[in-house]
Amino acid sequence: MSINLLYMNQGGGGNWKGLDYAAYDILCLAESTVLKEHFIENYNSKTKPPMSVQTKVDGGRMVTEVKDIDVTALEVRPIVCFQLVKLAPMRVVFFHFKSGNENYATKALDTGVMQYLKIVNDDRRVPTLWIGDYNRATLDPLTAVFKDVRVLFKGGGISQWNLDRAVITGDWGGMNPVAKEASRSGDNQHVGISVVLG
């Protein structure tokens, strides 16, 4: 069984072109207050701006253990970690780093990595997708901990900032997740990323 996940940062007015949300099983939406048609909300950060994890109404139980693992609340709009029920122990870490400063954004990623390791009991083999708006964070916190970091997709933002990225760590066995651009906003060039897992 495969799961089709969509990440989008819908902030700043967006100007997104039409997107077929029904083609996806899980939506990870940054800066969105809208519950998409035929989806239920599994998590809403209730922050300004909010972050939302939504799953298809008829998809059965898709996610579990949805938790905000940001313990600083300084340069992050929650770091949301959850497990994929049908592909357990596979996990997703979804975030939106709000700092335009490389150092702060990288520290935010480091915070996420350290808290994630507590959740998985330091088992670095757990197949995990790290997806969201990295802002200007480097991948150093991931490469320092995991020996198998692989960038599936990067893009978005002006000046080739690659704000939006999908990165995997852990042991994926025979699985080969595929990520691609799903849409692009007209205002700030954020990209929506589609990832097929499983």
Q: What gap in Å lies between CA 23 and CA 86, rounded to an integer?
A: 18
pLDDT at site 46:
86
Q: Hey, what are 14's tokens?
A: 């967006």
Domains along the chain with CATH numbers: 3-197 (3.60.10.10)
Q: What pLDDT tens digit does each residue of the chain (198 aa) get? A: 899 999 998 765 555 567 889 999 999 998 887 899 999 999 998 887 789 999 999 989 999 999 999 877 665 678 999 999 999 999 999 998 877 788 988 999 999 999 999 999 999 999 999 999 998 899 999 999 999 999 999 988 776 678 899 999 999 998 999 999 998 876 667 889 999 999
pLDDT at site 73:
64
Residue 91's identity, in one-letter code, is: R
Determine contact, residues 24/5, Cβ cutoff 8 Å: yes
Rg (C-alpha) for the chain, rounded Å, is: 15
In sequence order, what are the residues at sequence separation of 6 or more whose Cβ sits closer than 8 angstroms to the Cβ of residue 17? Answer: 183, 184
Preceding peptide of 49 cis, ω within 30°: yes
Q: What gap in Å lies between CA 176 and CA 10, rounded to an integer?
A: 27
Beta pairing partners, 158: none
Q: What gap in Å lies between CA 55 and CA 10, rounded to an integer?
A: 17
